Amino acid sequence: MALIVHKYGGTSMGSTERIKNVAKRVAKWHDAGHQIVVVPSAMSGETNRLIALAKEIMPQPDPRELDMLASTGEQVSVALLSMALQTIGKQAVSYAGWQVPIKTDSAYTKARIQSIDDARVRKDLAEGKIVIITGFQGVDDLGNITTLGRGGSDTSAVAVAAALKAAECLIYTDVDGVYTTDPRVVSEARRLKTVTFEEMLELASLGSKVLQIRSVEFAGNYKVPTRVLSSLTDPLMPLEEEANSGTLISFEEDTHMEQAVISGIAFNRDEAKITVLGVPDKPGIAYQILGPVADANIEVDMIIQNQSVDGKTDFTFTVPRGEYVKAMDVLNKSVKEHIGAASIVGDSKVSKVSVVGVGMRSHVGIASQMFRTLSEEGINIQMISTSEIKISVLIDEKYMELAVRALHKAFDLEKA
């Protein structure tokens, strides 16, 4: 049979009862003859609790010590799951990331995986054991424990699956797959049976919270078939039914995407717009504006530079809403007078709405249909950005849900 990696999120591991259910589900797959590696997250809320404790001691915790502390949440999870499996007669062994080892760089709190030594894990699998590995963490060349950043357990699971050349990586969450949009906004939203890595990467980067962006990048780069499915179903449901549930994230050639022009509508409320007015239209002006913003570690998303009029232009871009005040402060202090801008204005009450689909490569008229739909609803478009498989617009936040519902209907996404 196949080598399968299971990943369980914090909600799935949220109590001892849920951990016992995870053990039953894992045992079912093992009983069917599969080799199983499990990568669980910390119990729901545990990482937040640990970070809060650190901040009670030290308002700005030392990153190395913060990683040492935060990594303990996953160690609790793997040990409890191993015990739960042993109580139902399964041989199980748990490892922290440094024991495998999962090697990372030394960027504490946001480390990146460099390599995984699979020898120890393969030996255990060959002996019939279920192997449980902490998500979210690894070890650097100096032996320091590192963590991968929030949501890093998804990345750990996909990386382990890639290293072991697993047949599939199953990401168990509290939702039953990837939907055409958020069902809380559009009740007719439909679960997708398949979605390509490219589409999932766009959806994740544009606001979909189903998977962490880095995990999708990893899965696509290393060609790891990945399935998103629910851990809240009956753990003893028939294996064949479970194995075909959820949403399979795979390669474009493995899916039948020619019929589906648009696969999903993504949105992000966490947006703010900044415009630098009346700046000289000359080489290097974009860098003079965005350089200090980047130096302040503020991420920039959509960018527009207006046509030059009398040697002057306006430069508009978006930043995360939580960084809006910081970005405005940087621009007013270090950019405005330096470049001779007339003024700097901003709006923190905007949202981004995007349509995504690989079918856009072979179909024309998607942009015009999107813009017509928004126009008919009286929604003004403030900015536009595109890629080969997505179109994003920035609009007033009060129209965001209306825009999502209208576009979902316009592109017939409720229909299978």
CA dist 212 and 204 (Å) reads 7
Lowest-pLDDT range, 83-97, 180-194, 209-223, 361-375?
209-223
By the 10 Å C-beta count (0-12 exposed, 13-18 middle, 19+ buried), 397 is classed as middle
What are the residue ranges spanned by the domains of the chain?
3-253, 264-410
Q: Which of 347, 295, 303 shows the shortest CA–CA distance to 321? A: 347
Report which residue type is found at 157: A
264-410 folds as VC0802-like (3.30.2130)
Quote the pTM value: 0.85
pLDDT digits 0-9 by tens, 103-161: 999 999 999 999 999 999 999 999 999 999 999 999 999 999 999 987 799 999 999 99
Report which residue type is found at 337: E
CA dist 186 and 189 (Å) reads 5
The CA dihedral of 6, 11, 13, 18, to the nearest 10 degrees, is -100
Strands (E), 254-407: 264-280, 303-305, 312-319, 343-356, 383-387, 390-396
Tokens 């930043």 locate to 319
User: 35-40 and 3-8: which strand pairing?
Assistant: parallel
User: 137-139 and 145-147: which strand pairing?
Assistant: antiparallel
Determine which helix (DSSP H) or strand (DSSP E) holds 327, and give its type and residue range. Answer: helix 324-334
pLDDT digits 0-9 by tens, 262-315: 999 999 999 999 999 999 998 999 999 999 999 998 999 999 998 878 889 999
Pick the CATH number of 3-253 from 3.40.50.300, 1.10.760.10, 3.40.50.1820, 3.40.1160.10: 3.40.1160.10
Give the model's confidence band at 254: pLDDT under 50 very low, under 70 low, under 90 confident, else very high: low
Which is more confident, 206 or 194?
194
Strands (E), 254-342: 264-280, 303-305, 312-319
Q: What share of the chain is helix, strand, coil (3-state, %, to 5)?
A: 40, 25, 35
Determine which helix (DSSP H) or strand (DSSP E) holds 39, and give its type and residue range. Answer: strand 35-40
Average pLDDT, the chain: 93
Going from the C-alpha of 295 to that of each of 289, 316, 340, the distances in angstroms are: 11, 18, 20
Give the model's confidence band at 258: pLDDT under 50 very low, under 70 low, under 90 confident, else very high: very low
Peptide bond into 292 cis (omega under 30): no
Q: Enter the tokens of residue 397.
A: 């936040």
Residue 244 backbone phi and psi in degrees, to 5: -110, 15
Give the model's confidence band at 207: pLDDT under 50 very low, under 70 low, under 90 confident, else very high: low
* pLDDT (average), residues 2-27: 96
Which is more confident, 17 or 214?
17
181 close to 408: Cβ distance less than 8 angstroms: yes
Q: Which of 55, 103, 74, 101 shows the shortest CA–CA distance to 7? A: 74
Would the pLDDT of 28 be above 70?
Answer: yes
